[in-house]
């Protein structure tokens, strides 16, 4: 079952149009990490466990 993440659903990212759909939640998370690094200048290695949990909660079955 595919899973989807929309960047604009994350607090503070409402203006970002990016969304990702992939076969698994873990694959979507890899896209999210790459997107955060390239588009938003973030380092996913610096994300807290709370940040990661919030992201995982926004990845939904589609």
Q: Looking at residue 30, what is its pLDDT?
A: 98
- Cβ contact 58:19 at 8 Å: no
What is the rounded average pLDDT of the residues 1-7? 97
- The pTM of the full predicted model, rounded to 2 decimals, is 0.92
Average pLDDT, the chain: 97
By percentage, how much of the chain surpasses pLDDT 90?
100
For 15, 31, 56, the CA distances from 25, given in Å and listed in that order, are 23, 10, 8
């Amino acid at each position: 079952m595919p899973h989807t993440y929309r960047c604009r659903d994350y607090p503070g990212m409402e203006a970002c149009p990016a969304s990702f759909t992939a076969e698994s939640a873990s694959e979507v998370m890899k896209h999210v990490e790459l997107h955060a690094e390239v588009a938003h200048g973030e380092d996913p290695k610096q994300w807290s466990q709370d940040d990661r949990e919030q992201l995982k909660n926004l990845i939904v079955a589609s």
